[in-house]
Chains A and B, each alone.
Chain A
Amino acid sequence: MSLEPQELDELKSKIGRVPTSTELEIVAAQWSEHCSYKSSKMHLKMLPMTGPLVINEKGYDSGVLDVGGGYVVTAHIESHNHPSAVEPYGGAATGVGGVVRDILSAGTRPIAIFDGLRFGNIEKDKQARWLFKNAVKGIADYGNCLGIPTIGGEVEFDDCYQNYALVDVACVGFGRKDKLIKNHAKKGDVVVLLGGSTGRDGIGGSQFASDSLESEDRSAVQIPDPFIEKLIIEAILEARTQKLIHAMKDLGGGGLSCAVSEIADTLDIGIEMDVNKVHTRENDMHPNEIMVSESQERMLIVTSKVKLKKLQKICEKFRIGCSVIGSVTFDNKVHVKKGNKTFANLSADIIANATLLDLPSKKPSYLKTITHEKKLKPITDYSKMMMKFLSAPNIASKIWVYSQYDHEVGIRTVVKPGGDASVLRLDNGKFLSVKIDGNPKQCYINPREGAIGCFEEACRNVVCTGAKPVGMLDHLQFGSPKDPEIFWTFLESLKGLTDFAKDFGIPCIGGKVSLYNETPAGSIKPTPLIGVLGLIDKKPLVPQKIIDGDCLVIVGDTKDELGGSEYFEYIHKFIGGNCPTVNFKESKKNMNAVLDIISKQIIKSAHDCSKGGLAVAVSELCMTSNIGCNVSLDMVPGEKLSFDRILFSESHSRYLLTVEKKNISKLEKILKKYKVSFKNIGEFGGEKIRFNHNNTSVINLRVDKAHKTWINSLRDLVLHG
């Protein structure tokens, strides 16, 4: 129960009487931060939500993009942070389930899952290892059982997530435009609850997600059942094709009470329902429990009495539960009964619309000195340091994670995970490229520039496959909004994202806000996570193997921007410095140049330069093609810097292009035309990764040894500590 005293007074004055206990439960669930977005909603409006491809319909839980040829792509992002922090396997799995149902509720088939995971320091902390291992397993088991490929994501570790977990799941769907559900309802329509039975699991989950995670307050976990989810997917899609669904909503946070009140409010209808009709797991459940239970794998459907028979037949065929729990009325009220006895009778718009808050914000004091750099300890052997760096959990290959996911089921996956963005084949001949990115280390140092950086990085990743960014998903994860300093970081990030989205014409098609992410050690760092969807009209760039004699060309300037870099934080244990910033003009120019080059098919691969800087990006190219490279750091365009800064700066808008020697002049000609900053900085060949500066070798590694360390270290760390 988390209605605050003034909210209770407000409710009383709005309804003119004392609310019943069921009404209190319903309102508390719906007015929780998790369901109502009361702290953030007023500000989220600044994001651009429309664009030439965006289809806006009422009541969708996911964003819809028209990708041509009569097809649409849907996308949504969700998190399951609080549940995953206490039960990583079930929490992560049910997170996947929830976002999959959001995609389904628009009437589209889920075709790919992405996950962004964040944990504490797994090198030191056993609990973090346990959370990591089981969250990955939960996602893998659930996604694999559904037959939906998990094709991308990211994993990051930072001390600020001690004893905590951020589990973000995005899902992409695909379908025909003419089969989209157009949410509507007529008087006399029936309300059907379809799917798993309602039990006592996850009671109060949405309120739990909106309260800080105190150690003793750990309850409300949900148990995943992917097989029921799979049956629901197939049953719903069949019902959609037969046009049996008038309106649909998935049951997520807040359970029945939120689904019923939101659908009633959106469609401007009333719903009268009887809790006795809900199929429950136990016999003795109280109406309050039934209304707020967050049992998984359930959907709410509005259909007509005539179509109901057919719907029931489909449910029978797939053997999933289907109860008619109520009917549509026209008094705009949510009327909850048990038999003939009324337990709640409230206006839908009162329940569904919590009073929005305009919280105070204040620039955090830590930011005053954060850019001051400390004196770095000298490093005597950079080759040795680089080997350690390649095994750092944030730099090491994430193959241990994505090899547990089936990333090919459904045979759409053209570019598999492990590189920049993954690419899916669509039925209209086009390709969809998707990537999610976050960077809390940079967002902590500069919430605005850090958030813009995540957005640009996700764009860079899809651009590297030849895709033009067409839509964005944002997931804003912060600590308690009641702390004005934290709320300031939220607003700064949001403003940054808005500016970038408007300037680049990339609409926000969906998103989520997760607040109150507090650990026993304090708030998490600001962690906005950005997903970008890109569209390829003709042919994606599938990276080709690099061979002897191929050239390495860098596009974009390297600047003195090491704040929040892995080099500062992992090697020098220093949090601070200058956060990389994105120059919009330069960024756009570089993006357009790279897209043009890819469309002309003259390069072998394009790779973005981000975490770990140039040194890591070049090493990744070498290691995946098992070939050496000679890189001249003096040639790298940008500010005049010491060689370690050139190697490890995480400046944005940079791309590494690999090209056959015979194509180099063609490439240079195009790059010159776009007036971008670029240089041919090296040549591939041999067995050594070599970085040279002023004619001296500063890093010299055997590629096979580097590869072995990079590919195995994360697995070894998780399995053997």
Chain B
Amino acid sequence: MATFDVHVTIENKPGISDPEGETILNDLVLRGLHKSVTKIKTAKMLKFTITEKDKKTAHSKVQKICDDLRIYNPMVSIVTVDVFDA
């Protein structure tokens, strides 16, 4: 068994508007004249620490937790699960 850090990123599906990200882009970043920035998207991240036998199991376990417990609404959001060695 090994310990892994699992990062779960929850964000709006592509194509769905992201008012918070757009506000940060237009009202903060572009106003500071950082014109090279073209897009900002907001997301929520959950950081899990989990002990499992391998990376793959850690990944599927966390994905299942998020699906079963409705950590996100699949209608609106997508999740990305990234696993790192702790």
Binding site for B on A (CB under 8 A): 86-87, 90, 130, 196-197, 199-201, 218-219, 221, 223-225, 227-228, 281-282, 295, 319
Contacts and interface: CB of A to CB of B under 8 A. Distances in A.
Interface residues of B, number: 12
A295 B17 contact: yes
B76 A90 contact: yes
Nearest to B70: A130
Contacts, number: 39
Contact of A282 (B15, B70, B73, B75): B15
B32 interface: no
A87 B76 CA distance: 8
Contact of A199 (B17, B26, B70, B75): B17
B17 A223 contact: yes
Given A200-B15, A281-B17, A295-B17, 5 more contacts: A87-B75, A199-B15, A201-B15, A201-B16, A221-B16
B15 A223 contact: no
8 contacts: A86-B75, A90-B76, A199-B16, A201-B15, A223-B19, A225-B17, A282-B15, A319-B26
B16 A200 contact: yes
Contacts of B75: 86-87, 218-219, 221
A221 B76 contact: yes
The 7 A-B residue pairs whose C-beta atoms are closest, nearest first, are: A225-B19, A200-B15, A223-B17, A87-B75, A86-B75, A201-B16, A221-B75
Contact of A228 (B15, B19, B76): B19
B57 interface: no
B30 to A, nearest CB: 12
Interface in B7-61: 12, 15-19, 23, 26
Q: Most chain-B CB neighbours within 10 Å: which of A219, A281, A295?
A: A281
Interface in B71-86: 73, 75-76
Q: Most chain-A CB neighbours within 10 Å: which of B15, B17, B23, B73?
A: B17
A199 B17 CA distance: 7
Contact of A227 (B17, B18, B23, B73): B23
A219 B73 CA distance: 12
Contacts of B17: 196-197, 199, 201, 223, 225, 281, 295
A281 B15 contact: yes
Contacts of B70: 130
A586 B42 CA distance: 59
A289 to B, nearest CB: 10
A282 B15 CA distance: 7
Nearest to B74: A218
A238 B15 CA distance: 32
A223 B16 contact: yes
A90 to B, nearest CB: 7
Nearest to A126: B70
Contacts of B76: 87, 90, 221, 223
A86 B23 CA distance: 26
A141 to B, nearest CB: 11
B15 A227 contact: no
A279 to B, nearest CB: 13
Nearest to B15: A200
A295 B16 CA distance: 9
A232 to B, nearest CB: 13
A201 B23 CA distance: 18
A224 B73 CA distance: 15
Contacts of B26: 319
A503 to B, nearest CB: 45
Contacts of A90: 76
Contacts of A200: 15-16
A218 B76 CA distance: 10
A6 B59 CA distance: 51
Q: Most chain-A CB neighbours within 10 Å: which of B12, B16, B26?
A: B16
B18 to A, nearest CB: 7
Contacts of B15: 199-201, 281-282
Contacts of A221: 16, 75-76
B18 A223 contact: yes
A619 B69 CA distance: 40
